Amino acid sequence: MSKIIELAELAKSYVLKNWNNSSVLYSVLTAYGVYKVIYYAFFDRLRNVPGPFISRFTSFMTRKSMISGDFTDYLFDLHKKYGPVVRIGPNKVSDSSASDFKKVMASYRFRKSIEYEGFAGFHQNVFSTRDEEFNRMRRRQLGPAFSQTGLNSVEDLIEDICVSTFVNKLNKIVDSGNGSAQFNYFRYFQNVTADVIGELAFGERFHAVENDGHVVTDWVNDSIKSSFVFNSIPPLKAIRSMIPSLTIVDPRLKQFCLDSVKNRQNKIDKGEFSKDRVDILQMLMVAVNSTNKKPLSEDELVSEMGDMILAGVDTTSIAMTWLITYYMLYPEIYKRVVDEIRTNFPSEDHKITHKETREKLPYFIATVYETLRIKGSVGGGLAREAPVEGVDLSGYNIPHGTDIFMFVAGAHQDTQVWGDNLSFNPDRLLGPEGEPLKKEILAFSSGVRICPARNLAWMEIFTIVPNMIKNFDLSFPKNSLYGPNILDPNNGNEPKVPKDITFFTKPPANPERDCNIVITKHFF
């Protein structure tokens, strides 16, 4: 092997001396290509990791699946054929083992892959950063807003959006249809989560629920897709690094962020802002970087605020969308949830709080966890670099510098943990035996880079869905392409689930067609 490398170095030296001789150049390029083929075919350190033969030489098939939105399905197919660790590129592997996932995510030894730099926008942020100290600093700065104490300080605002405003909107929809109407629950969940993030990260409500949307949700959807596509095509990624205007953050969103900071400062100056309120925007505005002892710059503020809205709107709304979808596909489970909620909360006027959900609705909570397991909001893999000393994963030695895509959806299907992994079975998460399994749900990641906003997501889900189910009856339209009796032979004859699409998050591929529901007022 050392001889081959010496020859490659000699060839490099020779071509530099004779670069103007085209025949020499072509010869050396050909020799270099042959060398690369021989190296990756017989000598490289990942040669024992199973996978498609072409993946030894190129990541083309992986990149293609990313661009098309089929990355999650592509990885599932590979792991089904090759096992828990699969080679997906010359220097990339995918890992679907639940135990490996927690091992890799447990410490900062496994840096985030360079892939994440493409999600940085104007400046690295708590999501995109690969730097351990920067991540620790941002988590300290944002921590108070996401702590239970911080969320309690804005609980009334969240309750007003998630219950009062949302239920009032549903009542208007039902009244407009003389007691029964059809609406798109994916869009409405996006609207309500956008209003929550608007209050907490921008200091103002977007009124997306009342007005059937807000332009910011369009910016979110476009930004997520564009950032994922740019990251998936190396030449585009390089071009974007040279042209600042090709940022993943919409320029209109940048100005919106800066205007929000200005408006908050005006309220503070006029004494109109409550000092008791602890929210994301305030934590960012008062933060001082430990690196330079200065407040966050405009680019830092915009990057963090943009990250909050990209992550906060999409992931939670998608989780609730899949939850309602699975209720409609499994009517016996839906009925148990309805009975549990309405038995514990028989009053129409009572607003169920997230605390009451935790205390009184164990079966509902189990269905949320099971939905996060079987579908979830995040697709593809969370990419990490193998450390200097390398790492052993599921019997394979992964050398330093290899990108390890920790496949969340695959870990949630690990039969060593879940057994009958294809069935939607919330009962597995009940009682003493269910509590340890809840810790195997990796929807918010785990370890040192666990999602800092997970408490907010739980608060939203545990408030929005129980109140919706308490007050309204839900059913698929008669012309729906899906239902409990439409089975999928490729998935253990379980009910067929709408196709998803992966652009980091994993929403339904056709939400306008597949996420419509008939809603009827429940009379107490």
Residue numbers in the known binding site for heme are 451
Contacts of 188 (CB under 8 A, 6+ apart): 166, 169, 170, 209
C-alpha distances out from residue 338 to 71, 93, 177, 324, Å: 35, 43, 23, 12
Of 340, 369, 388, 360, which Cα lies nearest the Cα of 427? 369
C-alpha pair distances (Å), 256 with each of 202, 208, 214, 227, 305:
9, 15, 13, 19, 10
Nearest 10 degrees: Cα torsion 123, 219, 443, 190: 150
Which amino acid is it at 168? N
The radius of gyration of the chain's CA atoms, rounded to the nearest angstrom, is: 25
Q: Using alpha carbons, list the distances in angstroms from residue 133 to 138, 200, 226, 289, 401.
A: 9, 25, 28, 11, 20
CB 377 within 8 A of CB 313: no
Q: How far is CA 523 from CA 173, 348, 468, 473, in A?
A: 16, 8, 13, 10
Which of 135, 124, 127, 100 has its CA nearest to residue 404? 100
CA nearest neighbour of 8 among 27, 28, 23: 28
DSSP track, 275-319: TT---HHHHHHH-B-TTTS-BPPHHHHHHHHHHHHHHHHHHHHHH
Q: Give the type of residue at 43.
A: F
SS3 54: helix
| Token reading at 320 | 């609730």
Let me know: does 126 contact 138? Beta carbons within 8 Å: yes
Residue positions in the annotated binding site?
A: 451
In terms of Cα–Cα distance, which of 323, 315, 222, 367 is closest to 506? 315
Distance, in Å, from the CA atom of 138 to the CA atom of 470, rounded to the nearest integer, reads: 39
Output b/e per residue, 60-72; b: 16+ Cβ within 10 A: ebbbebbbebbbb
